[in-house]
Amino acid sequence: MKRPGFTLVEVSAAIALLAACAVAFAYLVALTASERTAERTRQTAVDQVQNVLERLVIVPPEQLASGEFDKTATESLIERSLPDGKIVFDTKTVEPDSVVFAVTVSWSDGEKRPRREVAMFRLLTLLPSPSPEESRTMPPFPEGEG
Question: pTM here?
Answer: 0.65
**Does a structural domain hold residue 48?**
yes
Residue 4 DSSP symbol: S
Residue 131 DSSP symbol: P
**Does a structural domain hold residue 60?**
yes
For residue 32, is pLDDT > 60?
yes
**Does a structural domain hold residue 143?**
no
Lowest mean pLDDT among 60-64, 123-127, 140-144: 140-144
Q: Into how many domains does the chain fold?
A: 1
Looking at beta carbons, which pairs linking 128-133 to residues 24 or more positions away fall under 8 Å?
Answer: 128/61, 129/60, 129/61
E strands in the chain:
86-95, 98-107, 116-125
Query: Which is higher by pLDDT, 144 or 110?
Result: 110
**Does a structural domain hold residue 7?**
no
Looking at residue 28, what is its pLDDT?
97
Contact criterion met (CB below 8 Å) for 83 and 107: yes
pLDDT band per the 50, 70, 90 thresholds, residue 74 = confident
Report the C-alpha dihedral over residues 43, 48, 54, 55, rounded to 10 degrees.
Answer: 170
Contact criterion met (CB below 8 Å) for 108 and 84: yes
CA-based diameter of the chain, in Å? Answer: 109
Looking at residue 142, what is its pLDDT?
58
| Nearest by Cα to 124 from 49, 38, 56, 62 | 56
| The total number of residues written for the chain in this structure | 146
| Nearest by Cα to 109 from 28, 34, 31, 29 | 34
pLDDT band per the 50, 70, 90 thresholds, residue 85 = confident
pLDDT band per the 50, 70, 90 thresholds, residue 146 = very low
**Could you tell me the residue range of the domain that residue 60 belongs to?**
36-137
**Does a structural domain hold residue 57?**
yes
